[in-house]
Chain A
Amino acid sequence: MTSTLDDLLAHWADRNALTQSEMESVRAAALGLSSAPVSDADVDWLWDLLRPVTALLDGPHRLQDTLMRPYARLA
């Protein structure tokens, strides 16, 4: 297979151009933004962290209902 110099230069340019993630990362760094998008793993981790609390509120003892009772709030 032969390639012309123009073809090779075009491949070379593709290889060296900024990738989409590099473009976003340079822009974010310049603007002082966080370039790290929130990943699904981060969201899962946060839900895992909150699960004991939500389980208490929504669980069989319905802590949320207890907390809503006037005497509980006064106490």
Chain B
Amino acid sequence: MRQYLEGSHAVAQIVRLCKAQVISAYPITPQTHIVESLAQMVADGELNAEFINVESEHSAASVVQGASATGVRTYTATTSQGLLYMIEVLYSIAGLRLPVILTCANRAVSSPINIWNDHQDSVTARDAGWLQFYAENNQEACDLHLMAYRLAEDHNIMLPVMVCMDGYILTHAYEVVDLPEQSQVDKFLPDFKPVHCLNPDEPISMGVLMGPESYTETRYAIHQTMMDALNVIPGIADEFEQVFGRKVNCLIEKYRLEDATQVFVAMGSMVGTIKEVIDGLREDGQKVGLLKIIAHRPFPKKIVYEALKNAREIAVLEKAVSLGEEGPLFSDVKSAFCGHGNQPKISGFVLGLGGRDITKKSILEVQDTLAGAQVDVKFIDLKI
């Protein structure tokens, strides 16, 4: 049913519909509305779950790790400093192959202190073994959470999933969202059946010591699973379309890409603004297009290459930078061309850090720079 509500509340509704049973989170702007909403639902009896209050994000992640290990569906949410605080637990959750779902309300990291949106927090966790998806708008944020539970608990995957939505820009934005019925969600998302779980009747230990003779294979297995996930995801996206009556893009989205010579590549809410700019440029007869990346991990390298191979100039725009090198998404996109004959100009752009507004002018500045010599890192809207 189409409703008009705040992004955070829409996500909370989805978590309720997915019947998460253990929720533990520590409040941090701009994620607070999500967890407040869920706490209210539990208190009002609308959601039959244990809401466990803890004193830190590290503990919140530990709680959901332990709960997931007992075979229950879990949920947590965080951002920025909170994500970094819990990061060792995130690696552990993936290593234990637990299907925990986490919403990252993307926010810049300190120091200096900044509570506004960028992607530096979630890209920092990209090596941890979590599937990571980035939402363009609140409808996508909702749909990706539904997909997240389904994918995470699939016995071919059994990995945690992080759904990233831009802090304030999406979490605090009121938009029209089509929320599903409980019956539809029940049809799409069966009960969680763990592969291994802590059970006093059949005791096991999880996360044991594995030395040089056996550790490598566990990491190989996660990597292979993430590669396999690229093949599993489209089939499940088809199921999603059948149940909910709308398409969900889970890996990439192509926008006016067919004959595009100049292509923008980006993740998250800035994609909406880029689409507006592209429509304007197309009216002027310019052949520009957009490749939206939704899955950052696993990175759909082959699909990205196929989508971009006919472009002459590619601009990768991102709200993060691996300081001392270049933007992480830029590195990933360049790697998609490795081993292939053609080498279009691929330039990397960093913008929107610390919540600096990305305007149509920002995108046009990217296009202007793209026309010149190739650059690895160009900071857009820089005040120096």
A binds B: no
Residues of A within 8 A of B (CB): none
